[in-house]
Amino acid sequence: GAGVSQSPRYKVAKRGQDVALRCDPISGHVSLFWYQQALGQGPEFLTYFQNEAQLDKSGLPSDRFFAERPEGSVSTLKIQRTQQEDSAVYLCASSPKGGAYEQYFGPGTRLTVT
């Protein structure tokens, strides 16, 4: 069966550009998570959706970061006015239920801001 997919896999943006990263979760999965992973570090939580509701956005580093999941399936993470410190791998994960269940990760989008 299809796993979590993310697109694009690689994105190069000039400083100041806006970017949009897409996540397609496993079909039917209720929960969706976004993480940011800097080089040599573990992933850091950004935000969490249960269906279309964004229940936790405490990890978003600034108001330049915005995430949505309007129909409770596909999610988009948008970064406005990108800066060099935004360079990282952005990982998406989905889980079949709400609550603390096993998360299934996508391959990530590597964002490089020049």
Partner 1 sequence: KQEVTQIPAALSVPEGENLVLNCSFTDSAIYNLQWFRQDPGKGLTSLLLIQSSQREQTSGRLNASLDKSSGRSTLYIAASQPGDSATYLCAVDNNNDMRFGAGTRLTVKP
Residues that bind partner 1 (CB under 8 A): 4, 31, 33, 35, 40-45, 48, 55-56, 91, 93, 98-100, 102-108, 110
- In single-letter form, the type of residue at position 37 comes to Q
3-class state of residue 49 by DSSP = strand
CB of 56 to partner 1, least distance (A): 6
User: How far apart are the C-alpha atoms of 19 and 66, rounded to whole Å?
Assistant: 11
Residue 84: DSSP 8-state: G
Phi, psi of 84 (to 5 degrees): -60, -35
Beta carbon of residue 21, minimum distance to partner 1 (angstroms, whole number): 13
CB of 16 to partner 1, least distance (A): 27
86, with CB counted inside 10 A (0-12, 13-18, 19+), is: buried
User: What minimum distance in Å lies between the beta carbon of 72 and partner 1?
Assistant: 16
